[in-house]
Structure 1
Amino acid sequence: MRKFFSVDRLLDTLRMVLTGPQVLAFVPAACLAAFWLGGESALVTTALGLPLVFAATGIWGSRSYTASSSGIRPSGAVTYDIFQSEMRVLSETATNNGENAACIAMALDDYADLQDLHGQAAANHIKQQFSDRILSIIRSHDIFSQIDQNRFLIGLHPSPHLDLEACIQMSGRIQSAVEEPLLLNGAGVYQSCSIGFCLHSDLRQTEAEEWIGAATAALAEAQRSGPSTIRAYSTATRRRSLVRANLRKEFEAALDSGDIRPWFQPQESTDTGKITGFEALARWEHPIKGVLGPQVFLPFAEQAELMERLGQVMRHHAFEAMRAWDRAALFIPRIGINFSSDELRNPGLIDRLKWELDQFELTPDRLAVEILETVFSRRPDDVITRNVTGMAALGCCIDLDDFGTGHASIASIKRFDVSRIKIDRTFVAKSDQDPSQQQLVSAILTMAERLNLETLAEGVETPGEHALMAQLGSDHVQGFGIAKPMPFEQTLDWIAAHQAKLRGTPKISRKMG
């Protein structure tokens, strides 16, 4: 409730006035009143006694973390150790007084993009402004801490008025403050944050560590739901958190056991209908839950910093498949593999890739490095840029994935030496029925032709979409209309069936001129 924060803020201000060093300003007035009422003896007693009383009661600096504690940061935030200690005190106070308290966890949305676009120094500056705004909102007896690079915590002091609605109101105030433009080099940067919180009354156990963990679990749910989301902790959150924790442990083991491996989706030429490549798509063949897609396990991989390990596993199995197709006299020109930002930030990526290709006796031109369009808006001097240009120089095909959904410029496309753009499925869907979709695809294809880039239309699901992509001039197509992703064991039969079908299929003429 709004009343909770306004009343508490007023009481907090009054408390600060009466218990801070500024109360010394009233000592002369008190001494004068004592002299009028009791003479010189009362004056001496008051002048000497009041400061001694204040000092003895420890009224100044009574908060364990507000004076000159070594744990204080210049911003007003406390260290995580102090935060944990204070949360134990809040928990005990809430229990003893029959009041409620809350732990709020926050994170800036798309923080990795903020780092990549503006650099670490700028990201730190944004975080400092974020912290300053939070500290301007919370009461002085609430506590605030940064627990890692992009997560922050607030401990709301116990109050009889603190409830679910009050926490939602507080979270909304935080988001409103953050969404005001943050200054960076004189310009405004628009940022949002996700928030999760846990009321003390919603805890099954009252340990500070569990309380903080519950708030961060609610934050994780908020982040999975999209930017600028608020989530409250509940018993359902706990159950889902435990399931995810177990899956995360299983995922790490699955990387080593071979249960994580690529499934392959074919790409074909619109000129000849022949297979021009396969894209390797990660799948988890779970022994109980069945086949799980990347939307299930990629968050675990990112949180556990296992994206590089996942990439290595994917390349190993994909290159192994290429070698097996070669030995079966089924020449597949190219395999497309997605490279994550974590992999592309590794300065040793090029050397490792050379070794992996050599191990399977593959030439670099048979690898299509698929990179999301968002990567292409990065600064030109970072490790990602050097790795992408290095792979292009090695002879790999650079595929710009999900084209049209990010911010890639023509200059960056040329700088990265892109070989092919993959037109996102959002442009391809129902393009045979929607004239505006046709115009968008046609414009992209015209641009690609002028830049001498190959094109591949993703998400082709119907014969009509397939025919239109061929007529408009897309070089390659991929999607359920050609085939769904399949395990390696099924590719051999599918290739044979496709080739047999191809022999009886008339050629689709492409747009000329």
Structure 2
Amino acid sequence: MTVPLPPDGTFETDAATKALELRMAALRDAALAATSACAGLILLTTAENGPGHPLIALSADGPVDRALRDFCFAKDETGTDQTGAPPCKTGQITVEGVDYHLMALPLAGPTAAARGWFALAIEAPSNGLQQIIETCSHFARVAELTWDTHDGMENLAYEVVTLSSRAARLQRIAEIDPLTQLENSASFEDKVRRHLEDTPSEMAFVVLDIDHFKLINDLYGHQFGDIYLKTIARSLRTAFPEGSIIGRLGGDEFGVLTPVPAASRPYLEGLLTRCRSSIQRATALQGKPDLGKVSIGASQFPDHGTDYAVLYEHADAALYAAKASGRSVSAVFEPHHHARYNGTEFGNRFHAAVERGDIRPYFQPQVDVTDGKCLGFEILARWRRKSGHLLEPGDFAAIFRDHALAEKMTRTVMHSAFRIYARTIAPTGLPLRLALNVTFFDLMNPEFAFEVQQAVADTGFDWSLLTIEVTEQTMLGEPNGQVFRSLNELRRRGARVALDDFGTGYGGLRHLAAWPIDAIKIDKYFVDGLTSGPRDRAVFEALTGMCHRLGYSVVAEGIETSQQIAALRKHGCRFAQGYYFDRPLAEDELGSFRPRYDLP
């Protein structure tokens, strides 16, 4: 906005001066847009007017603008910059706790007595100041040319307007996600924050995640994945009402801030349902199966929070609650039901639990069903509450969405389990194995194998007795990536690798042949089918037969009945674990574990 200085009775702007003022205002606005300056000033004086009554004074009326004007009229004791031309006076000020760089370039007018300043205030940048000075110098030169020939400079005025338009267009390009043409993550956050500050009406903050997007990329290629993302982006524009802010937050996650009426819970639930339906209709035209499935979480302003971070956190918790309930559904945040999916809250409680020693390993026996011999234990994480109640991983799922918390969980459980093993199992002399569950974040850490090495060295554990368990979802990716390299390094040191919950993830069969795997763990879902009917038994037989032909040992999970044990023997599956043998053993129970189980 252009704010002139207070009017003076002896100073009157004629038509020519007014035209010059308009051109200078356009030039100043273009400079602000091109440099992201927070304040700009153009002062033009003549011999008739003098500094006290400038011919033109273009400036806003804020504290930074006033400081910028004083800076221009102050005596220059800083010298000039090193760019060569024109001289630039620079300085720094602090206003309301914010540091600003000031730069002012003198302007030469049409006559010797005509002088002026072209000045900008920039919020202190970490780099690029020299480039901004050069840009300011360019605009100062244009200002001089404009002033010198303003009576007939229509072409130059057009150039300035074009420059302003181009700067605005470039600014908008910087805010847009290039693939989907939605707001990018930074722009979305900025606009939502400003909207929440300026709008007292009720709003809904929506976070949407595409189900199994990695699988879709893996199956159909990244080019199709891009088309899929653009289709969903168009559906979001159609589904949400005018005035909504829609952005791509990254990868396959989208965010929406949308207006909702008062007492809006039923309206919001209906809106989310229509959104899912719109996406499914649009993606059905792409000719691929199982597209258009999305999980959605939402929070409400101001009921669930009044700022961006809190609303995002609560919508994200609702999103993961939706995923936990089976995916392809939507959920609105409910504090009492979704608290366990809140990463920040769980993070604070988790760190405290680690300090108290409440994160503990439990040990589930793995048994050879041919003779009942205990072969080792799978390490299971448990969180002991102050009441004595044990939380299982499904109860603290939020931990595994944060790389720092997930890695700390793995290391805490690993070190504790190795120490307990050294005290209770190692003295028996039995070569019992330990199976450690690791996350995608662990394997993406190039130092993970060395951290396991440190734990092995500290406790005297034997690498050859360690099994690393990973899920199919963790293995979604290309061979020779970091996950692949980490698994190879762990195997090189002597550990075995087991693919956990086989048959329930979304990896292709090609992973079985290409990835460094030694054992397959068949999920309880398939084990339960052993006694259900011939088709379920055929599926189990096909899975075990394929694994045996590939040279993998097979472990059946979730064994609960003697009939299942008989079926495992029939199909040649030797190894199993489940409550039929024992529940997971605590540290004080591990010392009295059974080396052999009586089996039917």
For 2:412, give the aligned amino acid: V
Please state how far the C-alpha of 1:399 moved relative to its aligned partner: 1.2
Q: Does 2:268 match 1:167?
A: yes
Tell me if structure 2 keeps the 8 A contact 1:322–1:332.
Answer: no
Please state how far the C-alpha of 1:319 moved relative to its aligned partner: 1.6
Distance 1:416 1:273, change over 3 A: same
Please state how far the C-alpha of 1:470 moved relative to its aligned partner: 2.2
Tell me if structure 2 keeps the 8 A contact 1:88–1:208.
Answer: no
Which of residues 466, 484, 489 in structure 2 aligns to 1:390? 489
Equivalents in 1 of 2:381, 2:568: separation in Å? 26
What are the Cα deviations for residues 28-48 of structure 1, in whole angstroms up to 9, with x where unaligned? xxxxxxxxxxxxxxxxxxxxx
Distance 1:273 1:289, change over 3 A: closer
Q: Does 2:324 match 1:231?
A: no
SS of the equivalent of 1:460 reads coil
Q: Comparing 278-287 with 318-327, which one deviates more in the overlay?
A: 318-327
Which of residues 437, 446, 450 in structure 2 aligns to 1:347? 446
Q: 1:249 aligns to what?
A: 348
Distance 1:145 1:463, change over 3 A: same
Equivalents in 2 of 1:115, 1:190: separation in Å? 12
Which of residues 190, 198, 202 in structure 2 aligns to 1:89? 198
Which of residues 357, 368, 373 in structure 1 aligns to 2:467? 368
Q: 1:73 aligns to what?
A: 176
Please state how far the C-alpha of 1:472 moved relative to its aligned partner: 2.5
What are the Cα deviations for residues 245-268 of structure 1, in whole angstroms up to 9, with x where unaligned? 644421122123321121001111
Please state how far the C-alpha of 1:449 moved relative to its aligned partner: 2.8
Please state how far the C-alpha of 1:167 moved relative to its aligned partner: 2.9
Which of residues 258, 261, 265 in structure 1 aligns to 2:360? 261
Tell me if structure 2 keeps the 8 A contact 1:301–1:307.
Answer: yes
For 2:294, give the aligned amino acid: C
Q: 2:233 aligns to what?
A: 131
Please state how far the C-alpha of 1:132 moved relative to its aligned partner: 4.1
Please state how far the C-alpha of 1:413 moved relative to its aligned partner: 2.1
For 2:295, give the aligned amino acid: S
Tell me if structure 1 keeps the 8 A contact 2:466–2:496.
Answer: yes
Q: Does 2:251 match 1:152?
A: no
Over alpha carbons, which structure has the higher Rg?
A: 2
Distance 1:382 1:244, change over 3 A: closer
Q: Does 2:405 match 1:296?
A: no
Q: 1:15 aligns to what?
A: none
Tell me if structure 1 keeps the 8 A contact 2:530–2:537.
Answer: yes
Q: TM-score, normalised by structure 2?
A: 0.62
Q: Does 2:317 match 1:317?
A: no
Equivalents in 2 of 1:322, 1:118: separation in Å? 46
Tell me if structure 2 keeps the 8 A contact 1:398–1:418.
Answer: yes
Equivalents in 2 of 1:251, 1:431: separation in Å? 39
Tell me if structure 2 keeps the 8 A contact 1:397–1:418.
Answer: yes
What are the Cα deviations for residues 205-246 of structure 1, in whole angstroms up to 9, with x where unaligned? 7667665555445434333333222223457568x4798864
What are the Cα deviations for residues 464-498 of structure 1, in whole angstroms up to 9, with x where unaligned? 21232123211212110011101021012133xx5
Equivalents in 1 of 2:516, 2:309: separation in Å? 50
For 1:231, give the aligned amino acid: A
Higher helix fraction: Structure 1 or Structure 2?
1
Q: Does 2:466 match 1:466?
A: no
Q: How many equivalent residue pairs?
A: 426
SS of the equivalent of 1:222 reads helix
Mapping for residues 95-106 of structure 1, pairs under 5 Å: 101-106=203-208
Tell me if structure 2 keeps the 8 A contact 1:143–1:155.
Answer: yes
SS of the equivalent of 1:494 reads coil
Distance 1:84 1:114, change over 3 A: farther
Runs of at least 5 residues in structure 2 that lack an aligned partner in the other structure:
1-167
Equivalents in 2 of 1:318, 1:234: separation in Å? 36
Distance 1:446 1:386, change over 3 A: same
Tell me if structure 2 keeps the 8 A contact 1:442–1:472.
Answer: yes
Q: Does 2:511 match 1:426?
A: no
Tell me if structure 2 keeps the 8 A contact 1:134–1:174.
Answer: yes
Please state how far the C-alpha of 1:150 moved relative to its aligned partner: 5.3
Please state how far the C-alpha of 1:274 moved relative to its aligned partner: 1.3
Q: Comparing 419-428 with 295-304, which one deviates more in the overlay?
A: 295-304
Please state how far the C-alpha of 1:178 moved relative to its aligned partner: 3.3
SS of the equivalent of 1:314 reads helix
Equivalents in 2 of 1:241, 1:292: separation in Å? 11
Please state how far the C-alpha of 1:170 moved relative to its aligned partner: 3.0
What are the Cα deviations for residues 168-217 of structure 1, in whole angstroms up to 9, with x where unaligned? 3432333234335769x9989834322233455x7277667665555445
Distance 1:284 1:186, change over 3 A: same
Tell me if structure 2 keeps the 8 A contact 1:198–1:211.
Answer: yes
For 2:453, give the aligned amino acid: K
Runs of at least 5 residues in structure 1 that lack an aligned partner in the other structure:
1-64, 95-99, 509-513
Equivalents in 1 of 2:215, 2:461: separation in Å? 34
SS of the equivalent of 2:296 reads strand
For 1:108, give the aligned amino acid: I
Equivalents in 2 of 1:204, 1:346: separation in Å? 35
Q: Does 2:221 match 1:108?
A: no
Equivalents in 1 of 2:549, 2:536: separation in Å? 20
Over the residues paired in the alignment, what is the CA RMSD in angstroms? 3.7
Q: Comparing 373-382 with 415-424, which one deviates more in the overlay?
A: 373-382
Tell me if structure 2 keeps the 8 A contact 1:283–1:294.
Answer: yes
For 1:227, give the aligned amino acid: R
Distance 1:134 1:209, change over 3 A: same
SS of the equivalent of 2:593 reads helix
Equivalents in 2 of 1:282, 1:241: separation in Å? 16
Q: TM-score, normalised by structure 1?
A: 0.71
Which of residues 208, 211, 219 in structure 1 aligns to 2:319? 219
Q: 1:33 aligns to what?
A: none
For 1:468, give the aligned amino acid: A
Tell me if structure 1 keeps the 8 A contact 2:193–2:307.
Answer: no
Taking only the aligned residue pairs, the percentage that are identical comes to 21
For 2:257, give the aligned amino acid: G
What are the Cα deviations for residues 423-465 of structure 1, in whole angstroms up to 9, with x where unaligned? 2111212624533333333333322332232121111111221
Which of residues 443, 465, 480 in structure 1 aligns to 2:542? 443
Tell me if structure 2 keeps the 8 A contact 1:107–1:150.
Answer: yes
Distance 1:332 1:317, change over 3 A: farther
Distance 1:373 1:215, change over 3 A: closer
SS of the equivalent of 2:530 reads coil
For 2:538, give the aligned amino acid: Q
Q: 1:141 aligns to what?
A: 243
